Structure 1
Amino acid sequence: METTSRAGVQAVTADAGRKVDGYLSAAFPWYGLDDAFTGPRWLLQVGAAADGTVEHGATGHGQEPSIKVESTPDSERFAVVVTVASRPVRRSADGTGVLDATSTATAAWLAGSGLLSRTWPTQMDRTLRQDWLDQQTMLAWELADDLGGEGWSALTLPVDGVPTPFRYRESEYGWVLAGSAGDAPEGVHIGAYGRGMSAYGLGFAVVKDIAAYENGVGGAPARARAQDTGDARADEVPAESATAD
C-alpha cells in the first residue's frame, strides 16, 4: 500500500492560486456525495507527487469540522469523500525508488488518517495531541492493511447508481469506509469518513463541476454555507498536521 510519505506526495494548498486549481489539473474524475445530499459542499486539498501529478484529494459535505479544543465533536455533521487515482507499481518521479500500486487500502488509510486529523479528544492536553495523532495514524495504517480482518464489515452503497461493495468500520471518533469505482484503467479508489451523518444512506457520484465546491455548493441545490471566521478549520491546518487529504 502506498502512503503519502512513501510516495513523495505533498499537500497542495491554495497559496499558489485558487484551491480548485489543483483539482482541475487532475487526470482522473473526482467523487462526492450524489445529488440526494443537498447541504453545503467544500474543498479540502489535493496531494501531488514531486513532478506535480495529482494523486488524490478530498471533497467535503455538511458542516466543516472545527479543530478547536472546546468544540463538541458530537455536534458536528460532515462526510468527506477521498478520491485516489488508480496507479500501477511505478518508479518515483525522481527515479530513486519504486512506488506500490494504489488500492482500496490506500483509500482506507487516507480516509482513516483524515478522520483523525479532524479529531481532538476533548479531555486531551494540547501538548499531547501530536503523540496521540502519530499513534492513532499508525493504527489506521495497520487497519487499512487488513481490510479483510474483523475490524471491518461489508457495506454496499451506490456509486454512479451502481451497487458497489465497501469495507466499513466505526470508532468513537466517527466512521471510515473504502472501495473502488470501476475496473477500467481510469478507475479510482474511493474512501470516505464522517461524523454525525450516517454512512448507511450515502451514495457517491462523479462530481460534474468541481469548481462549484469552491463556492460552497454542489450539483444539487444547497443551503447557504455557514460562515464562522472565528474557528480554525481543519483544511487550514498546515500540511504536516493534516496530511491525509
Structure 2
Amino acid sequence: MDATSSGAVGAGTAQAGAQVEVPARRAAPPADPLAPYLAADFPWYGLDDGWTGRRWLLQAGAAGSTRPTAQPRAIDYGSVGHGEELPMQHQARNGGRFAVVVTVARRPGRRSADGTGMLEATSASSAAWLAGSGLLAAAWPGQLDRALRQDWLDQQSALAWDLADDLAGPGWSPLTLPVNGLPQPFRYRESAYGWVLAGEAPGVLIGAYGRGVSAYGIGFSTIPDLTAYTGR
C-alpha cells in the first residue's frame, strides 16, 4: 500500500513588500504494483489464452507476521484477476463476473519473519484457504449492515478454514482442468457466493475463485508477461 506525503509550506519573511515564493512539494510517486510480483522466486499463473477479457493485478504478499523486520521477506503468494474488478470495501458485493487465480509458492515449514513462531509448509490447502477467504471478501451479502458484517465474515471464514483443511472430504468434488495444456486434478466446491478450487501446478500451488464465470470452462497457464495485467 503506497502512501503519498504532503507537508505544510513554511511561511517566508516579507521584506519591503517583496514576496517569497516557496515551491510546492511534489507527492511521492506511487509504488510500482508489479514490483512484488517481479520479486517472487516462483512462476505466476493466470487464466490461459481461452480467456479474452480484462486482466488485472490484486496483490502479492508474504506469509507470517506483519511486524517490520530487518530482513526482506520473500513473496509467498499473490493473486491476479480476470473480468470485472472486485468492489471496494464499502461497496455491496452482489453481482459481478470475475475469476481470480491465486499462486502460492511451495515452501517447507519455516520460522516466521519476526522469529516468534513457525509457519507450516504450504500445501493445496493453503491455496484453498486463500481462495476461499478471497471469495468471502469479494462476495459478502450487500444487505448486511456494518454491525453484522464482521460476524458473518468471522463465521464464514471459520467454515472456509475447516473446508480447506479437508480437501479430500465431502465438501469438495474432483475437477480436472488444463494447466499449461495438460490435464491436472483439482478439488472444487460451490456456494451461494461463488466457487472455489485448489490444486497443484509445476513449481507452485494454485487456488482460484470466481462468480459468473464457469469454473468448468477455464484453464491455467504460466504468465509470460505480467504487464498484460497492468493495462500497459
**Corresponding residue to 1:40 among 54, 58, 67:** 54
Inter-partner Cα distance in structure 1 for 2:119 and 2:61:
15
Secondary structure class of the residue paired with 2:208: strand
Task: Give the aligned partner of residue 92 of structure 1.
Answer: 112
Q: Does 1:170 align with 2:170?
A: no
Task: Give the aligned partner of residue 86 of structure 2.
Answer: 65
Q: Percent identity?
A: 63
**Letter matched to residue 57 of structure 2:** L
Secondary structure class of the residue paired with 2:37: helix
> Cα offset for 1:72?
6.4
Task: Give the aligned partner of residue 200 of structure 1.
Answer: 216
> Cα offset for 1:19?
1.1
Task: Give the aligned partner of residue 211 of structure 1.
Answer: 227
Inter-partner Cα distance in structure 1 for 2:140 and 2:164:
21
> Cα offset for 1:214?
1.3
Task: Give the aligned partner of residue 138 of structure 2.
Answer: 118
Inter-partner Cα distance in structure 1 for 2:206 and 2:226:
16
Unaligned runs of 5+ in 2: 4-29, 64-68
> Cα offset for 1:70?
6.8
Inter-partner Cα distance in structure 2 for 1:48 and 1:120:
25
- Judge conservation of contact 2:140–2:153 (CA < 8 Å) in 1: no
> Cα offset for 1:120?
2.6
Inter-partner Cα distance in structure 2 for 1:211 and 1:46:
15
Deviates more, 1:19-28 or 1:108-117: 19-28
* Change over 3 Å in CA distance of 1:158–1:63 after alignment to 2: same
Inter-partner Cα distance in structure 1 for 2:89 and 2:199:
31
> Cα offset for 1:128?
1.3
Could you report, residue by residue, the CA deviation over 1:69-122 in whole angstroms, capped at 9, with x for unpaired residues?
774623x11000000000011222333322110000000000000000011313
Please give the residue correspondences for 1:5-84 in structure 2 after superposition, counting only pairs within 5 Å: 13-15=1-3, 17-49=31-63, 51-67=72-88, 71=92, 73-74=94-95, 76-84=96-104
**Letter matched to residue 205 of structure 1:** S
- Judge conservation of contact 2:197–2:208 (CA < 8 Å) in 1: yes
Inter-partner Cα distance in structure 2 for 1:70 and 1:57:
23
Could you report, residue by residue, the CA deviation over 1:153-201 in whole angstroms, capped at 9, with x for unpaired residues?
000000011100000000000000000103xxxx100000000000000
**Letter matched to residue 60 of structure 1:** G
- Judge conservation of contact 1:69–1:122 (CA < 8 Å) in 2: no
Deviates more, 1:124-133 or 1:107-116: 124-133
Inter-partner Cα distance in structure 2 for 1:150 and 1:157:
20
**Letter matched to residue 21 of structure 1:** A
Task: Give the aligned partner of residue 130 of structure 1.
Answer: 150
Task: Give the aligned partner of residue 234 of structure 1.
Answer: none
* Change over 3 Å in CA distance of 1:34–1:120 after alignment to 2: same
TM-score, normalised to structure 1, is 0.77
Secondary structure class of the residue paired with 1:137: helix
Unaligned runs of 5+ in 1: 1-12, 217-245
Secondary structure class of the residue paired with 1:143: helix
Secondary structure class of the residue paired with 1:59: strand
TM-score, normalised to structure 2, is 0.81
Inter-partner Cα distance in structure 1 for 2:130 and 2:51:
23
Who wins on radius of gyration, i.e. which is larger?
Answer: 2
Q: Does 1:150 align with 2:170?
A: yes
Q: Which has the higher contact order (CA 8 A, sep 6+)?
A: 1
Inter-partner Cα distance in structure 2 for 1:97 and 1:129:
31
